[in-house]
Structure 1
Amino acid sequence: MPGNANNEQHWRGIAQRYEQEPGPINLENGYFGRMSRTVQAQYLEHVGFINRSNSLHVRQRFERGDNDAIRCQLAELINADPQAIAFTRNATEALQSLIRNYNRLQPGDQVLISDLEYDTVKGAMRWLAGYRGVEVIEIAHLHPASFDSLVSSYREVFVQYPRLKLMALTHVTHRTGLVMPVHTIARAAQAHGVDVILDGAHALGQIDFNLAELGISFAGFNLHKWIGAPLTLGFLYIAPERLADIDPDMGECHYPSTDVRARTPYSTPNFPALMTLPWVLEEHRSLGGAAAKGARLKYLRDRWVSQVRSLPAIEVLTPDDPRLYCGITAFKFSGRDQQMMVDRLLKEHGLFTTTRVGTAFGTCIRVTPGVVTCVEDIDVLINAITQLAKD
């Protein structure tokens, strides 16, 4: 087992770095992550400073170099050229900018989405139909999913629809935590002349990856989920050699057309949050980065899944193939109203989870531990599911 994934003393020490409100056990850490006490203190200090200095600091310091230095530190996180990334408010904004401004589509071309994509990404791809005259191809993946079935589904689509030019692909699906075989799918897409826009919202901070090795030229990410940044921080990535394939956003003129930052709307950002990012990245590294966080989250996931997968009336929807899962996993109570069961988990067992919808298997319950989650919390979940399955 990698590193300290099962070292409870080590992770209890890490949990002490975060403030937690008394109450139910939070197993819905996929919405957004916590800031540590250190990051929160820095953020609040920057809020006060920017409020006091107002535009003086922003105009004279931040816009004249500080933001570039922060951008360079962020680029190190994904081993990218700083000229390949632009700050956004979140992954959704980044992905919408990439989809909206992708300029290689002609009327009659086809674009591809699956049932596993984030709803806003689906909406943006469907928007292309009305504004670019393209046809949207939608597929639903087989359940249960396997590495081969996922890859085959795309290879079949690429052959069936030769006019495909662009596709959305989610690295870690927000509904079930399924990790897509991005490298293999992207390689097949490239062989058929299909560009991939990658949704990395849940991957960054949970999974070690190299965008160049994955064969990805366009991607959007969050920094507030698994990296530990304040809300309102995300970024987009465009491989420098592909910059010309994404137009400046609606004639964006604050940056030259040769600058990646012209590919997303220019606005007044959350300056204190951006100024806090160096502390966020340093803390992420100090925890061991995605390798350590991901191993810990998978350990916690394996602990509960191994105990409930064989229970009658319980269906775990995320496969156990280590290539296809991370810390997030979804399940369902067979023949039950899943929202009612989420409510019972909360009211009867003090466990906060959430439902997800939009796939062939219907509504599911998503369980997402975090870096503050301990094995005792997971054991409460195991006991709760076991009891409720008997009802």
Structure 2
Amino acid sequence: MLQADLDYDSMQACFDTLKRSRGVDVVRIALPEPATHQGLIDTYEAALKVNPKIRLILLTHLSHRTGLVIPVKEIVAMARARGVDAIVDAAHSWGQLDFRPADLDADFIGFNLHKWWGAPLGVGVIYIRQARLDLIDPDSANSPPFAASSYSRVHIGTVDFAARLRHLRDLWAEELRDVKGLEILTPADPRLHGGITSFRLARRTSVQDNMAVAKRLLDEHRIFTVHRDGPASGACVRGTPALFNSAADDDALVKAIRSILP
């Protein structure tokens, strides 16, 4: 396996772990200073010529050490022609550079989303070309049968918060959308909503009306909602699921709203 001096420490540590656990040889090179586009390609090619047993290289698209951007697509093509796979670390480039994953033409790419996309810590994306999936072992924390996708190659653990909130929202909002006497204000089109959705009883557009609805839901059903004013069409009541809510909670909300319809 081949790594460079500008690769990320944790990625280098992964290679070193494989050396200890599987006995693989790890070759480390220094990238040229000053660097040129062709000079970088030549450096990796020279390392492969000197070490013909190498079958995997690590490529850091944009180095966190110096900011150097390497010509990943060209190096991947050169390595592939020699029967060598490449793992691309795009942690810093995804969000700093204008590119699409397909532009790299790599089989294995890791993206970090908390660096330059502003996502929560620990959020990232792994890309594995479908035709190469069998080369990556299923995550040891997962149980068979293993899906024919990258999901089986990583252990997801905590669910996708956004997807969970949207699911909970749909359970009550779409169930009530066509109920007579009720207005669901947020569209059903998934492109046009998140987890929050507001509603009002037909023709009950005053702040007082909607405060009263929210109060009834709390007092009679122990369901907490909030009234909101501001829309030109009138005030409304906002229902917002939390991560600890369940499908049963949505069922209770549906029944409660039905019970207060005029």
TM-score, normalised by the number of residues in structure 2: 0.59
State which of 197, 205, 208 in structure 1 corresponds to 2:95. 205
Give the equivalent residue in structure 1 for 2:7: 117
- Alignment partner of 2:39 out of 128, 149, 160: 149
Q: How many residues align?
A: 167
Amino acid at match of 1:114: A
- Alignment partner for residue 86 of structure 2, among 186, 196, 201? 196
Deviations 1:58-104 (A, max 9, x none): xxxxxxxxxxxxxxxxxxxxxxxxxxxxxxxxxxxxxxxxxxxxxxx
Query: Does residue 169 of structure 1 match 2:45?
Result: no
The answer on 1:259 being equivalent to 2:162 is: no
Question: Which of 8, 17, 22 is the matching residue for 1:127?
Answer: 17
My pick for the range that moved more, 138-147 or 119-128, is: 138-147
**Residue identity opposite 2:75 in structure 1:** I
Matches within 5 A, 1:323-334: none
Tell me, in whole angstroms, the C-alpha distance in 2 between the residues paired with 1:152 and 1:145: 11
CA distance in 2, matches of 1:172, 1:274: 33
**How is 1:1-391 mapped onto 2 (pairs within 5 angstroms)?**
111-250=1-140, 252-253=142-143, 256-269=146-159, 271=161
Distance 1:248 1:156, change over 3 A: same
Gaps of 5+ in 2: 167-190, 192-262
Q: Structure 1 counterpart of 2:94, which letter?
A: L
Please identify which structure carries the higher helix content: 1
Map Cα deviations across residues 109-161 of structure 1 (whole Å, 9 max, x no partner). xx000001000000001111112221000001121222122111101011111
Match of 1:316 in 2: none
Q: Structure 1, residues 177-222: CA drift from partner, whole Å, max 9, x if none?
A: 1111111111111111111100010111222223334220101111
Closer, same or farther: CA 225–191 of 1 in aligned 2, 3 Å: same
Alpha-carbon distance change, 229 to 273 in structure 1, aligned in 2, over 3 angstroms: farther
Residues 251/224 of structure 1: CA separation in 2 closer, same or farther (3 Å cut): closer
Displacement of 1:272 in angstroms is 5.4
Secondary structure of the residue that 1:237 maps to in structure 2? strand
Q: Distance in 2 between matches of 1:255 and 1:261?
A: 12
**Structure 1: unaligned runs, 5 residues or longer:** 1-110, 277-281, 283-391
Distance 2:84 2:21 in 1: 20
Q: What RMSD, in angstroms, separates the aligned Cα atoms of the two structures? A: 2.2
* Contact 2:141–2:155 under 8 Å retained in 1: no
How far apart, CA to CA, are the structure 2 residues paired with 1:255 and 1:266? 16
1:250 counterpart SS class: coil
Instruction: Give the letter for the 1:188 counterpart.
Output: M
Query: 2:119 and 2:165 mapped to 1: Cα distance?
Result: 11
**1:247 is paired with a residue of what secondary structure?**
coil
Residue identity over aligned pairs, in percent, reads 42
Structure having the higher Rg: 2
Q: What letter is aligned with 1:248?
A: P
